[in-house]
Amino acid sequence: MKLKRSLAVAVFVLAMSVEVPNVFAQPPKYKQAKVSFDDFKELVEGLEPHRAQRLIDFDTFLKKAKEPNTIILDSRSAFRFDRVHLKGAKHLAFTDFTQTNLAQVIPSFDTTILIYCNNNFEGDEVDFATKMAPSFPPPPKDRIATQMAVQARPRMMALNIPTYVNLYGYGYRNVYELNELLSVKDPRVVFEGSLKKQ
């Protein structure tokens, strides 16, 4: 019995000493995409305190919109922007953000940029559909997970966040984000676009 145990231990030690190639540490055998999660994490880590000081209500948003060297930027799709947007807003779809494209819409890095997105408006789920990932219930057999899922809240996927992060990453620091949820029927809200021409 002792001999068998000693033999088993020796085999185990020998097996552990054999060098197994680490396939995960090897560089890919293809040209890697120009994507860096590390760059994104580094950018976001320092950004949160900056953004926290630049969340504004709609009255402040409207007041700032009247100041010189200020633009309202709508980064939703061109289709949604053309249908309806805040009066006076300029458009650049988030998918078209590059240093060159941003420079064509935003005159300088000193420009005050006011941003909003779908999640700032309620009452029009067609043109301002709330971007939200629902919490999906677990399999019915798991009671504890089911109870937890009932309490779980949906995850907000608002376009304001990536818009703010990218503007900051491209060097625009004078950004203010609308933080208020407004009814599309709020008398302070003035829209324009193809829907308003009908």
Which pLDDT does position 154 carry in this prediction?
Answer: 81
133 alpha-carbon distance from chain centroid: 12
The angle that helices 37-52 and 160-169 make with each other, rounded to 10 degrees, is: 100
Q: Which residue has the higher pLDDT, 195 or 101?
A: 101
Please answer whether residues 102 and 90 qualify as being in contact, where contact means their C-beta atoms are separated by less than 8 angstroms. no
* Of 81, 68, 53, nearest in space to 107 by CA: 68
Which pLDDT does position 132 carry in this prediction?
Answer: 86
CA quadruple 111, 93, 102, 177: dihedral, nearest 10: 30
pLDDT band at residue 182 under the 50/70/90 scheme: very high
pLDDT band at residue 24 under the 50/70/90 scheme: low
Task: Return the DSSP state at 44.
Answer: H
- Mean pLDDT, the chain, as a whole number? 86
Please answer whether residues 184 and 122 qualify as being in contact, where contact means their C-beta atoms are separated by less than 8 angstroms. yes
Please answer whether residues 187 and 64 qualify as being in contact, where contact means their C-beta atoms are separated by less than 8 angstroms. no
**Which segments within the chain are labelled E, that is strand?**
55-56, 70-74, 85-86, 90-91, 112-116, 121-122, 132-133, 155-156, 175-178, 182-183, 191-192
Which residues, in sequence order, are CB contacts of 52 under 8 Å at separation 6+? Answer: none
* pLDDT (average), residues 62-78: 98
The predicted-structure confidence for 138-181, as pLDDT tens digits, reads as follows 566 666 666 666 566 788 889 999 999 999 999 999 999 999 99
* pLDDT (average), residues 59-75: 98
Which pLDDT does position 133 carry in this prediction?
Answer: 82
Assigned token pair, 122: 């309620």
Please answer whether residues 113 and 65 qualify as being in contact, where contact means their C-beta atoms are separated by less than 8 angstroms. no
Which pLDDT does position 77 carry in this prediction?
Answer: 95
**What is the pTM for the complete model shown?**
0.77
The predicted-structure confidence for 83-142, as pLDDT tens digits, reads as follows 999 999 999 999 999 999 999 999 899 999 999 999 999 999 999 988 888 766 556 666
Q: Which domains does the chain have, with CATH numbers?
A: 55-197 (3.40.250.10)
Matching residue, tokens 């994104």: 40
Neighbours of 53 (CB within 10 A): 8
Of how many residues is the chain composed?
Answer: 198
Which pLDDT does position 196 carry in this prediction?
Answer: 72
Which pLDDT does position 2 carry in this prediction?
Answer: 55
